Structure 1
Amino acid sequence: MNKQIAEFIGTFTLVLIGCGTAVLAPEIGQVGISLAFGLALVGMAYGIGPISGCHINPAVSIGAVAAGRMEKTEAIKYIIAQVTGAVAAAFLLKIIALGGAGYEGGLGQNGWGAGYLGEYNFFSAFIFEVVATFLFVVVILGATGKGAPAAMAGLVIGLTLVAIHLVGIQVTGVSVNPARSIGPALFALDDKALLQLPMFIIAPVIGGIAAGLLFKSGFLDAKEEAPAEIEAEAAEAEEKA
């Protein structure tokens, strides 16, 4: 249960801080919102990473399954905790937002089309979410893989999420995370959020699976030097010295 509790807290934090910044502090702008999502992830990576790996995203858990790094049964438990955390955070954010003057019912929900930010069409939104999630999960699997500097993983992953938000907020508001989309869509006053929600579940899952399969194929495995090669290099270094 420790892992599920950690994933609940992590996803709760991501949605409350990320979406909360968009709802409660819109004057901070899109750069500030991007930083809020990324910094929330950095904090949770170091806070709960040692416990659960800090997936806090169903697309990441599914990508880990596709890469052969996680069992399906454990991934299901993670996803339940992630979605529950996101829903709880969106509910709390709704309660807080209702106490302010001029609240119009938004919860930082994802979307596309007429009336939503850059008004990009479905095709642009779908392609962005698939590709952005693919790149995000590639970074996560690579940064947490064998041979990667573990101490830097949380920072690298968080900064990647910032970059993805900087380029994509105008397109979809940036999901790359089905749980992050589900929570706000359930409590937003805009009915369109629920109607568009399936795309923000399907597209990130496709991107996550694609990244996982790429790692499982071995194409991105870190190169390991043979012992003989290492010894030869050491001997050569001693001779030069």
Structure 2
Amino acid sequence: MPKKLIAEALGTAILVLFGCGAAVLAGSMIGQTGIALAFGLAIVAAAYGIGAISGAHLNPAVSLGMVTAGRMTVGEFIYYAAAQIVGAIIGAAILLMIASGKADYTVAGTGLGQNGFGAGYLGEYSLGAALVFECVATFLFVTVILGATGPGATAGFAGLAIGLTLAAIHLLGIQVTGVSVNPARSIGPALFVGGKALADLWVFILAPLAGGALAGLVYGLGFTRADN
């Protein structure tokens, strides 16, 4: 278990540093398509780098989906989620140290790639839109993960399928919420940014966990699981 938890923390730090880092350090140059690819490629890198150790969940919503699908215990979920949150905080802290090296950078002005919604945030979508997007997108994301790593899946391609799915979700939803689908990814930056990021954080914990749990339940019932 210690090796698995280290892998989950490291992988989640990679996700936050690469994905949020692309938005903060290079967003004006690479645009939203580049940011989406950064998140997707970070998942691909982590999946092939540490997947054999821990499964590379890197996301409490994914781990909860594994629980409701019958592929993980509640106790394992708690340990995994804690490691993922620690990793996200570490990734956000490293990003903050790097970003602070630019003379005109401020957390208040530029942020750390935090999630949000409503007035003043990207497309200014409503709370209802944010909840629906995060829940549905996480449901679809976790469904892909369960299928790509389950019986009948093509060996060796899970990391690529999962990474491309996350990139596609970002292409769709960056303007809505910045895309969380991952409570840990949201917690890390929000702790350093504070203010509205912390006030909005409950959405990016509740909705992804609900979507992930539902995806696991549907999979566990056999509706999205390949026949053995």
TM-score class normalised by the smaller sequence: over 0.9
Report the identity percentage.
65
Please say if 1:174 is aligned against 2:176.
no
Partner of 2:227: 223
Letter in 2 for 1:62: L
Correspondence for 1:41: 43
Q: Tell me the equivalent position of 1:13.
A: 14
1:14-42: per-residue Cα shift (whole Å, max 9, x none)? 00000001011112100000000000000
CA distance in 1, matches of 2:124, 2:46: 32
d(CA) in 2 for partners of 1:114 and 1:152?
40
Q: What TM-score, normalized to structure 1?
A: 0.91
One-letter identity of the residue aligned with 2:21: G
Unaligned stretches of 5+ in structure 2?
Answer: none
For 1:213 and 1:50, locate their aligned partners in 2 and report how far apart those are by CA, in whole Å. 24
Unaligned runs of 5+ in 1: 225-241
Provide the C-alpha distance between the structure 2 equivalents of 1:99 and 1:219, rounded to a whole number of angstroms. 50
Which range is displaced more, 177-186 or 99-108?
99-108
Output the aligned Cα RMSD: 0.8
* Partner in structure 2 of residue 206 of structure 1: 210
Instruction: Tell me the alpha carbon deviations over residues 136-166 of structure 1, each in whole angstroms, 9 at most, x when there is no partner.
Output: 0000000000110120100000000000000
Question: Do structure 1's residue 50 and structure 2's residue 52 form an aligned pair?
Answer: yes
Q: Map Cα deviations across residues 157-188 of structure 1 (whole Å, 9 max, x no partner).
A: 00000000000000000000000000000011
Task: Please show how residues 50-89 of structure 1 align to structure 2 within 5 Å.
Answer: 50-89=52-91
Given the two structures, how large is their TM-score scaled by the length of structure 2? 0.96
Distance 1:161 1:57 in 2: 12
Equivalent position SS for 1:118: coil
